[in-house]
Structure 1
């Protein structure tokens, strides 16, 4: 990956947007190669490392900011809060997201954690740090990813529609870590609450109605709604 052109690693418009931080990205990929050479398992798998950037930048309508990938082998898939569709049980934070989705929109919780359907509709599920050492939560923080994802968030917030107006966008910030990107969001509509983790969900996440509020804000911006219902099985 460290030698592949950016437009082979991600959608072409993302490659153009992240070109200014390509040096940072190459440095992080080099660090990951060194981790693997040192006998450490790095998550997610290389094929999913930059998955958040596979869907075109131009199609992003919602930004949901996460922290770093799940450190349990087999869980991380390159999209914040999502896990592989075969993972059972799903992480507790995701289970709480499903509880709030049901309370908010009446949609049934799923047994799987494949959030690909959201990504296909322009929901950018972006962790601030895109890799982790297996078993070591937060182990790849301050290794260079933050500059890359900050550039990605900035690129999303600076897009314009054909008429020159800001492109429709709603940012969802769950928890203090996500709140840290607020200075990058400019005038973007923001929905913020506690994190869905079991440690904090009852302190403001439950009852925050993020899904219906996103749709209300998108509708007000003339961009329709997101169909938040996930298939019963991936």
Structure 2
């Protein structure tokens, strides 16, 4: 199987791979990638799960689906590989990071190091057809993502969840500790007027301190 993950995820994936929906999801992905140009690269769909163990997650930032332009999606929500033009939503995120913490991140849109710091950058729909947002929303990802959030809440009660936009906010029902939820508008240009000046990065770090955890180092 082409699905790869760090050893700490074995319990979760062992359970999911026995379920009919997950087996069908993988078949759907295989079919979609054979018939269409899809993103990210198939080997990168579950890359996030190779970069961090469940026990090391401090913050979950929930995205919708991957960037649908060529060379953009890399398996992490909002992230692009170094050298790729920074998408508008990520530019807006960097604007707020600079205002909140004085961190200048504009040189690279690669957010792998955020994951290394404990930030789980998760797209609830893990794949997409080129130039067709939400094209894979009905192939099984919703069930997988619901089960993932439920699992994380069963094993941990101290994870902070950042829900940007109405789509992400739907997942609040699966989060047990409501005091660890930070909600806001989506950082896309269409809703940036509501996203800006909400001090999300300060709120995340302050909540980590309140929970007696080390803050995230957001710089490159």
Q: What TM-score comes out, normalization by structure 1 length?
A: 0.88
- Counterparts of 1:184-199 in structure 2 under 5 Å? 184-188=174-178, 189-199=180-190
CA shift digits 1:47-78 (9 cap, x unpaired): 21101211111111100000000000100001
**Within the alignment, does 1:11 sit opposite 2:6 as a pair?**
yes
Whole-angstrom distance in 2 between the partners of 1:95 and 1:128: 21
Whole-angstrom distance in 2 between the partners of 1:29 and 1:178: 23
Cα displacement (A) at 1:25: 2.8
Question: Alignment length, in residue pairs?
Answer: 216
Unmatched 5+ residue regions in structure 2? none
Whole-angstrom distance in 1 between the partners of 2:105 and 2:123: 23
**Which residue of structure 2 lines up, in the alignment, with residue 122 of structure 1?**
118
Partners of 2:33 and 2:42 within 8 A in 1: no
SS at structure 2 position matched to 1:84: coil
CA shift digits 1:6-57 (9 cap, x unpaired): 6xx111221312333223333212112112332x112101221101211111
Unmatched 5+ residue regions in structure 1? 161-165
Whole-angstrom distance in 2 between the partners of 1:153 and 1:52: 15
Structure richer in helix, relative to its length? 2
Cα displacement (A) at 1:179: 0.2
Whole-angstrom distance in 2 between the partners of 1:109 and 1:35: 34
SS at structure 1 position matched to 2:204: helix
**Within the alignment, does 1:151 sit opposite 2:151 as a pair?**
no
Partners of 1:131 and 1:140 within 8 A in 2: yes
**Equivalent position to 1:180, from 170, 175, 191:** 170
**Within the alignment, does 1:35 sit opposite 2:44 as a pair?**
no
**Which residue of structure 2 lines up, in the alignment, with residue 110 of structure 1?**
106
CA shift digits 1:111-168 (9 cap, x unpaired): 32100010011110001100001111110001101111111112222224xxxxx3x3
SS at structure 1 position matched to 2:155: coil
Q: What TM-score comes out, normalization by structure 2 length?
A: 0.93
RMSD: 1.4
Partners of 1:32 and 1:42 within 8 A in 2: no
